[in-house]
Structure 1
């Protein structure tokens, strides 16, 4: 039987890989690597660098996947459904043609496969109707949410209080009362619509990598700086991954706030692949 591993590889720093993830890498014969074009070539190359660093035996191979582009209309969910269907068809064909009986294939997922990533859903859909049997296993990873809290040296939750995790698209609908809010996938900087509400923001981009940017402080004071730094970084690198936490400003003593820093963790060795 074919076997598929869905491996969470962390938020960008190879040191974030768990022992379980490293062992899973060493089980795989084939790595299915998404190819999203030249702008995101660094993400593809970093996956390859992770394999080169942690896999102990030769013989594995890479199979590139040309990822379809998602349409953008007024019906977001319909666009995503069509996009996932196209990816599912592509994955199905590759699993059948590139993964032989008895072999193990792997998908390397940024962060954790269970949080705002659709690889697991797509593999489940394939499993439900594929003309060939296969087994799949999920290996959790360190998310950008965890990396954000660690780099800012903060706890995500206040004592006995909830944490709300959402997207930039949903943030504008309502800010939950009494919950600190973690925001992911915010391409439009929805936090700017919340200026004037007495919020603190802890923002981070390229977490754990040499390009890491950290900014924190009262939202009213740092929103424009975040917007500017984000636009500059995206223009320079061709892509950006950022995450942030919003909370009421009285929830954390100012004396406990970490200094702003753009310095990467000292343990990270920059990839040799020419990543920006």
Structure 2
């Protein structure tokens, strides 16, 4: 085993094993240890999807370790709570690495939904590992994002011709409304219904949940006409599955 600790953050797309690139499969196959987070009983399906990827696509060489993901505080200052949460996750990663790779070196892989660069904190958490042990050498394998899966599912371009796009969160849309200077807005990490914070006049929306999975659901149309449909479908799906991952694109102009 090599003396150097390597951390491979592998983008796995939106839950469909066919979203993994050949580079992703090679990185996972070469790992000495793959860490799979458990996020509670209501999200066990997410763990099952990761298990399924490892079973179907890998050759069985890597040791697979499951761990309970620390919980983020639900009250208090949001950014402070996230920082504390990331510290706790980094400490748990270190505990797992020390337990399963006691020699201190080797290749560790984590399966990251979508791509590690887009609204995922794995890279930020990785920088904290140096504070709880030796800093690893970090490698990133890009993956298909929810944004790509959404536009593909609806068969639409991400942007209008020569027009800008803003990717933001439901929290920021609620707080600030439609981002200035943007014709197209993509919203991620919405707990539900942040699109109600914008003026629906002339706005089209393309919404998708469980993109690329068997239970994929899509709704599109004028925002003022389909907002209620989206809210009802989202509530139904969350009740049925215990969790939901969704994303949507809104566009102003003739296409809206």
TM-score with structure 2 setting the length: 0.93
Q: Provide the residue aligned with 1:153 in structure 2.
A: 155
TM-superposed deviation, 1:97: 2.2
Q: Provide the residue aligned with 1:237 in structure 2.
A: 241
1:226 lines up with 2:220 in the alignment = no
In 1, Cα distance between the equivalents of 2:134 and 2:27? 22
1:62 lines up with 2:64 in the alignment = yes
1:26 lines up with 2:66 in the alignment = no
In 2, Cα distance between the equivalents of 1:82 and 1:36? 17
Structure 1 ranges of 4+ moved more than 6 A: none
Render the CA deviation track for 1:142-180: whole Å, top value 9, x for unaligned. Answer: 000000000000000111111100000001203123430
Q: 1:208 aligns with which of 197, 209, 212?
A: 212
Q: 2:170 aligns with which of 168, 186, 199?
A: 168
Partner SS for 2:123: helix
Partner SS for 1:251: coil
TM-superposed deviation, 1:133: 4.9
Structure 1 residues 200 and 27, CA, compared in 2 at 3 Å: closer, same or farther? same
Q: Provide the residue aligned with 2:203 in structure 1.
A: 199
More deviation, 187-196/23-32: 187-196
Q: Is the 8 A contact 2:39 2:69 kept in 1?
A: yes
Q: Is the 8 A contact 2:20 2:143 kept in 1?
A: yes
Q: Provide the residue aligned with 2:125 in structure 1.
A: 122
In 2, Cα distance between the equivalents of 1:78 and 1:191? 26
1:104 lines up with 2:104 in the alignment = no
1:138 lines up with 2:140 in the alignment = yes
| Count of aligned residue pairs for this structure pair | 250
Q: Is the 8 A contact 1:28 1:60 kept in 2?
A: yes
Structure 1 residues 174 and 195, CA, compared in 2 at 3 Å: closer, same or farther? closer
In 2, Cα distance between the equivalents of 1:188 and 1:76? 18
More deviation, 237-246/11-20: 11-20
TM-superposed deviation, 1:184: 0.1
Q: Provide the residue aligned with 2:42 in structure 1.
A: 39
In 2, Cα distance between the equivalents of 1:131 and 1:237? 38
In 2, Cα distance between the equivalents of 1:184 and 1:170? 10
In 1, Cα distance between the equivalents of 2:161 and 2:22? 31
Q: Is the 8 A contact 1:218 1:249 kept in 2?
A: no
TM-superposed deviation, 1:249: 4.4
Q: Provide the residue aligned with 2:96 in structure 1.
A: 94
Q: Is the 8 A contact 2:14 2:211 kept in 1?
A: yes
Q: Is the 8 A contact 1:203 1:244 kept in 2?
A: yes
In 2, Cα distance between the equivalents of 1:30 and 1:237? 29
Partner SS for 1:132: coil
